[in-house]
Amino acid sequence: MMHNDDKPWANKQILSPFPEVPVTLEHDNHVLIIGAGISGLASAWFLQQQGFVVTVLEAGNQVGGNLQSVQKHGCQWERGPNSFINNRPAMAQLIEQVGLKPHIVLANKAAHRRYIGKKGAMLALPSNIKEALTTGVLSTFGKLRLLIEPFVGKATSEESIAEHVRRRLGHEMLDWLIDPFISGVFAGDPEKLSVRAAVPKIYALESEYGSMIIGGVAKMKAKSRQKKLEKEQGISSLDGAMMSFAGGLYQLPATLAQKLGPAISLNTQVDNITYSAQFGYQAMSGDQIWQASQVVLAVPAAQVARLIDDLVPTDEALLMQAKACLQAIDYPAVASITMAFNKDQIEHALDGFGCLLPTKEGKQTLGVLFPSSIFSQRCPDDQHLITVFIGGGRGQHAMTLTPQQRTDLVMLELSPYLGIQGQPLWHEESLWPKAIPQYQLGHLPKVALIDEALAQFPGLHLRSNWRDGVAVGDCVENALQLANMMSQKLVKAQTKTETIT
């Protein structure tokens, strides 16, 4: 570890809105944000709205991180996230503030139907109690097993998602419903993920209602009462809707970048940060230094560990532990392969959101989305667009193959489910060597330890998808909460200064 004094500053260019003025920590309102994925951009936006001066440093040559929309071959598709659920107030606020409301596109009604693969066939998942009683997804035993769920006691220690669901709902629910759902969200293994950290809403059903079924029904009833009320009052709410934008999800970061303008610096990979009481934080990128009194690290966990390497802590042992925790967060590789077919090449109508393949099916392919069924005008009318995900927690063998071998494998594995004839009109792979962070058992204590260790550095904040939720909406919600918290602190500090002077 280097001390701040060991750094050769002399030949570096210092960049800050107030380059000649040493930063006065308590009431300076300049914030450096490292990383221009949705976490960093939304943090920058909300902070700017609260009166902070922001500078965003991004390693890549474009903003958006995982949000990457492509227009090619007469089609539009996504390399990363395909859509988001509008269930977080901050997202609605952000969309409204940046003027994207007219550009929202809602998922088609058919997209509410979801399929799973079972024994080589595609089965629709039940969407209500009546369908649940008649579905072929669960056996009669599997359905009867659900009846004892309300009488199962609460967990006494941390459980994996698999342990939790098996204990409460039985193994069929785990194998055929929850396992594929977890593949769909985390590309992860339910045996390793912590139920409390990864799916807090599912965990809360037990802790709040004592039963997943009773809690689930209560929540559904409350939601339908709310919808009815809104209908009666003539309010058309998009709450809970699945959506994107006319130009794809990338329209959100692109619009934020346009609004933030020169505050964003692309091709600026931050190598390390240092802190001194006199200058605050200094972020080094090549021969440039950026300085500010506060910094938000909106980068993957391993990058956080790297960036904080030169900070001088009072409790070094604690910081070492925090770095080890950050480095241990697993991000398994995933490939997303988008393909187009003529409609008559696929037997199935693809009338849904997509089809997930449970681990029990023994495939490397995690699942397939039907983007041209979810949203209109994503490809010519006589074509189907599909996006297949392979790899993740259970498909790492596939990640040792070449892209063409992966496409061949996906075609072989998917053909029986979808009824595919012949080869795709075109296909394109997007490789995510470190796709989605896994909130494994022990994740929450690790995050608490990281927070404790980094609390040694006033004004250092963490905002990224390795904590507090991986969905795009979670990242935006967490960004708003951070901006609110920082704003309250600044007001307090300014009030204190005014009182003293």
Is the Cβ of residue 438 or residue 465 nearer to ligand FAD in the bound state?
Answer: 465
SS3 293: coil
Enumerate binding residues for ligand FAD (CB under 6 A): 34-40, 57-60, 65-67, 80-84, 269-270, 298-300, 303, 334, 336, 432, 435-436, 464-465, 470-472, 475
| 110: Cα within 13 Å, side-chain hemisphere | 13
> In the complex, what is the shortest distance from the CB of residue 83 to ligand FAD, in angstroms, rounded to a whole number?
6
Is the Cβ of residue 173 or residue 334 nearer to ligand FAD in the bound state?
Answer: 334
Is the Cβ of residue 13 or residue 494 nearer to ligand FAD in the bound state?
Answer: 13
Strand 75-78 relative to strand 115-118, pairing: unpaired
Phi, psi of 289 (to 5 degrees): -125, 135
> In the complex, what is the shortest distance from the CB of residue 459 to ligand FAD, in angstroms, rounded to a whole number?
18
Q: Is 48 exposed, middle or buried (0-12, 13-18, 19+ CB in 10 A)?
A: middle
> In the complex, what is the shortest distance from the CB of residue 153 to ligand FAD, in angstroms, rounded to a whole number?
33
> In the complex, what is the shortest distance from the CB of residue 25 to ligand FAD, in angstroms, rounded to a whole number?
23
> In the complex, what is the shortest distance from the CB of residue 65 to ligand FAD, in angstroms, rounded to a whole number?
2
> In the complex, what is the shortest distance from the CB of residue 187 to ligand FAD, in angstroms, rounded to a whole number?
7
Is the Cβ of residue 155 or residue 185 nearer to ligand FAD in the bound state?
Answer: 185
Q: Is 225 exposed, middle or buried (0-12, 13-18, 19+ CB in 10 A)?
A: exposed
Is the Cβ of residue 138 or residue 480 nearer to ligand FAD in the bound state?
Answer: 480
DSSP class of 37 = B
Strand 104-106 relative to strand 242-245, pairing: antiparallel
Is the Cβ of residue 146 or residue 298 nearer to ligand FAD in the bound state?
Answer: 298
> In the complex, what is the shortest distance from the CB of residue 200 to ligand FAD, in angstroms, rounded to a whole number?
15
Is the Cβ of residue 336 or residue 359 nearer to ligand FAD in the bound state?
Answer: 336
Say how far apart CA 231 and CA 237 lie, in whole Å.
9
Strand (E) positions, 73-165?
75-78, 84-85, 104-106, 115-118, 121-124
Structure-token match 């058919």, residue found: 110
Residues whose CB falls within 8 Å of the CB of residue 244, separated by 6 or more in sequence, listed in order: 78, 82, 83, 84, 104, 105, 107, 375
> In the complex, what is the shortest distance from the CB of residue 375 to ligand FAD, in angstroms, rounded to a whole number?
12
Nearest-CA neighbor of 400 among 369, 428, 364?
A: 364
Nearest-CA neighbor of 115 among 105, 127, 128?
A: 127
Nearest-CA neighbor of 414 among 353, 351, 348?
A: 348
Is the Cβ of residue 248 or residue 358 nearer to ligand FAD in the bound state?
Answer: 248
DSSP class of 64 = B
Is the Cβ of residue 211 or residue 464 nearer to ligand FAD in the bound state?
Answer: 464
> In the complex, what is the shortest distance from the CB of residue 135 to ligand FAD, in angstroms, rounded to a whole number?
25
> In the complex, what is the shortest distance from the CB of residue 141 to ligand FAD, in angstroms, rounded to a whole number?
34
Nearest-CA neighbor of 481 among 52, 39, 37?
A: 39
SS3 178: helix
Q: Residues 152, 146, 224, CA angle at the centre, nearest 5°?
A: 100
Per the CB < 8 A criterion, the answer to whether 420 and 384 are in contact is no
Measured from the Cβ of residue 471, the count of other Cβ atoms closer than 10 Å reads 16
Nearest-CA neighbor of 53 among 27, 25, 36, 31?
A: 31
Is the Cβ of residue 67 or residue 460 nearer to ligand FAD in the bound state?
Answer: 67
